[in-house]
Amino acid sequence: MCEADFYQLLKREFLEEVEGMYGKIGAIFNAKGLAAHGQEYHCEATVVPFSPYYTAGRGKDVKVAAKIAKNTWDKDEGAASHCNRTFHRGIVAFVAICVVVFNSVPEDRMLTF
């Protein structure tokens, strides 16, 4: 799992570096809420809009994101999360997804940037 800021994930060089170290990124969890729709990245990842602070949709978002994360990891692919600019919502999304998928945060998924 890679936690990065929005600007890092938009750079082809950053994505290539991450994929070179850890393998293909299969999913990007975009914790920008509705602003995530239409965002394009320089990789073939599934983009998952996710609103960790939007209480009316958060429960559904976490379940959908967790299912996609688990499927991605089962294929031995990586996942990345981010928010608008900085790191706060991306980390909240990362922790929420891991808690649902694993009922904890496993050590082998704690490699963050």
Domain spanning 2-109: CATH 3.90.190.10: yes
40: Cα separation from own chain's centroid: 14
* Of residues 100, 94, 99, 109, the one with CA closest to residue 5: 94
- What confidence score (pLDDT) does residue 101 get? 80
CA atoms within 13 A on the CB side of 31: 27
User: Strand order in 78-82's β-sheet?
Assistant: 2-3, 78-82, 25-30, 46-49
> Tens-of-pLDDT digits for all 113 residues of the chain?
777 777 888 888 988 888 888 788 898 888 776 665 567 787 888 888 877 676 776 777 888 888 998 899 899 898 888 776 566 777 777 777 777 787 765 555 555 43
pLDDT at 85: 59
Contact between 8 and 81 (Cβ < 8 Å): no
Provide the residue ranges of all domains of the chain, joining segments of one domain with +.
2-109
C-beta separation of 67 from 85 below 8 A:
no
Q: What is the pLDDT of residue 111?
A: 52
What is residue 108's predicted lDDT score, i.e. its pLDDT? Answer: 58
pLDDT number for residue 86: 61
